[in-house]
Amino acid sequence: MKTIILWMRLDFRLADNPALVTALKRGVPVIPLFIWSPEDEGEWSPGGASNWWLHQSLSAFDTSLRELGSRLVVRRGPTIETLRNILKETGASAVFWNRRYEPAVIARDKHIKVSLKADGIIAESFNAALLNEPWEIQNKSGKPFQVFTPFWKHCLTKPDPEGPLPAPTIIPAPAQFPKSLTIDSLGLQPRINWTSGIKAAWQPGEAGARAALIQFLQDAFENYSETRNRPDKIGTSRLSPHLHFGEISPRQIWHGLRIAAEKRGWTLEQWRGSQFLAEIGWREFAHHLLYHFQHTPTEPLRPDFKKFPWRKDADWLKAWQSGRTGFPIVDAGMRELWATGWMHNRVRMIVASFLVKDLLHPWQDGAKWFWDTLVDADLAQNTLGWQWTAGCGADAAPYFRVFNPTSQGEKFDPRGDYVRRWCPELAKLPDAWIHQPHNAPPEVLRAAGIRLGETYPEPIVSHAIAREVALEAFAKIKASAGV
């Protein structure tokens, strides 16, 4: 075997990288290659926030490669033509890559593998992103799971995943690297600087992922089940963008959790049943569903929901997107999203419920907004989350669950610290009114310097009325489906 092309897509890490490790075992030069070809991903090409992260992650990975005597070669697509060109330029005889699971990418990769093999090229792909391949997990009927709890229980009957593969200490380089574009030339950075808050909030790259895991295990893992729903506290891992871009693997997290649990004296049953490990399972479930039900990014899994009487209102959608709904916990979440490219998971559920149930706006528009603004935008998890909230997907939330944004805020942000951070115009309100300024006495509003409708909006809907309208609409759909 001559040179191997290591086709990089999302797994921008040296440690626990199966395609890289397998390539290195051949003892020949390895050329890491990134091809920028968003058109290959159909309508789900990366959004603005994801592109920003991708730029940083590529830069960090290239730096790591150079420390080992290698470098990242960057090209523009189309992908198959670009691969054939670089194979011809380098005389390479093999292409290795780690798998992805988005429908359009699966179709592209299958075509590429068949085409390369027809050309006499060795083409191999590897699982680097999941604990289990989606096609490996089946229910007793040999079909995909559609409910999380039995899915995850089944996964936990399998042996623990193997330990993470070590990072290499050197990557053999060719006598001469092929020509490369600069990462800057891909235009991933926004032309208008709206990313200052995102830059301050994150450290993209493998080192940043490792640091985030260490900090979580030290500070929040032990009490995760109690603090994970509190946006006013540091109680979550913030590993989601690192996982999406493959800067850390689920196997690394699995074994990191196991070691941390053992140090705390936890039993095997305790840590395997831990809430955070279940969150890793939820990610697995999302990819399981996307693989088996490839229409779900745009269409409901439950076909009866195609008849749901959604009502699109452009003004309401804009108010929701900009954090001007008049419901503080909703507005705080949407402003956090815009400023940092991320939103606390509990708040994601609240703002999603508000869009699809208080406003009866189609969940697809919410999914598209998250896709463009989240640094951890992941097609599998974005799809599962929105369909869960809308009640039209697998393991969906009961249709009668309509989050009350006021009581949710009072329960999970009891002192209003989260709201005060992201809605500073409400900062002087007493705790009793921070989540319901529209109900505050006039003298309280005056003392806090708030003029409803001017400095902070009135609620765009009445939650009580919206809830009844939503329940009626959802109940009709359920009845027509015989549920």
Widest distance between CA atoms in the chain? 80
In whole angstroms, what is the distance from residue 59 CA to residue 12 CA? 10
Angle at 110 (CA atoms; ends 106, 112), nearest 5 degrees: 115
Instruction: State phi, psi for 333 to the nearest 5 degrees.
Output: -65, -45
From 391, 348, 398, 389, select the one nearest 369 (Cα to Cα).
Answer: 348
Alpha-carbon gap, residue 48 to 372, rounded angstroms:
5
In sign, the C-alpha dihedral spanning 351, 352, 358, 362 is positive
CA distance to 7, 22, 23, 291, 372, per residue, from 2 (Å) = 16, 14, 11, 34, 41
345 is catalytic: yes
141 three-class SS: coil
Task: Point out the catalytic residue in the list 133, 194, 222, 282.
Answer: 282
Cα–Cα distance measured from residue 121 to residue 115, given in angstroms and rounded to the nearest whole number? 9
Which residue among the candidates 386, 388, 422, 433 is catalytic per the annotation?
386
- Give CA–CA dist 42/46, Å, rounded: 10
Selected catalytic residue, list 247, 279, 336, 410:
279
Angle, vertex CA 248, rays to CA 243 and CA 253, nearest 5: 90
CA distance 219 to 125: 37
Residue of 124, 133, 299, 345 marked active site: 345
Contacts of 400-403 spanning 24+ positions with Cβ under 8 A: 400/471, 400/474, 400/475, 401/353, 402/353, 402/357, 402/358, 402/467, 402/470, 402/471, 403/349, 403/350, 403/353, 403/354, 403/357
Q: Does the bond joining 328 to the residue before it have cis omega, within 30 degrees of 0?
A: no
**DSSP secondary structure letters along 433-460:** GTT-GGGS-HHHHHHTT--BTTTBPPPS
Query: Do 441 and 343 touch, CB atoms closer than 8 A?
Result: no
Residue 266 annotated in active site:
no
Asked if residues 40 and 80 have their Cβ atoms less than 8 Å apart, the reply is no
85 in active site: no
Q: DSSP for 63-101?
A: HHHHHTT---EEEES-HHHHHHHHHHHHT--EEEEE---
The gap from C-alpha 95 to its chain's centroid, in whole angstroms, comes to 27
C-alpha 377, offset from chain centre: 4
Angle at which helices 379-390 and 363-373 cross, to 10°: 150
124, 299, 310, 425: which is the annotated catalytic residue? 310
3-state secondary structure of 234: coil
Residue 282 among the catalytic residues: yes
Please tell me which residue in 7, 36, 363, 422 is annotated as part of the active site: 363
CA distances 75 to 7, 30, 103, 352, Å, are 11, 16, 23, 38
Active site residue 310: yes
Cα atoms found within 13 Å of the Cα of residue 233, Cβ hemisphere only: 17
Give the catalytic positions in this structure.
279, 282, 310, 345, 363, 386
